[in-house]
Structure 1
Amino acid sequence: MKAYKCLAIFTYPHEYLVLQLQFNKYGIRHYFQNETLVGLLPLSSFAFGGIRLMVHPLDISKAKQIIDSLNDKSSNLRIV
Structure 2
Amino acid sequence: MEDFETIAIFNYSYEIVVLKHILDQERIAYFFENEATLSVVPFYSAALGGIKLKVHRNDFEIVQTILDNLNSNLSIV
Q: Percent identity?
A: 37
**TM value normalised by structure 1:** 0.87
CA distance in 2, matches of 1:59, 1:7: 10
| Residue 56 (structure 1) aligned with residue 56 (structure 2) | yes
CA distance in 2, matches of 1:42, 1:69: 26
**TM value normalised by structure 2:** 0.91
Residues 1-80 of structure 1 mapped to structure 2, 5 A cutoff: 1-72=1-72, 75=73, 77-78=74-75
**For residue 62 of structure 2, what is the amino acid of its counterpart?**
K
Unmatched segments (≥5 aa) in structure 1: none
Flag the structure with higher helix content: 2
**For residue 47 of structure 2, what is the amino acid of its counterpart?**
A
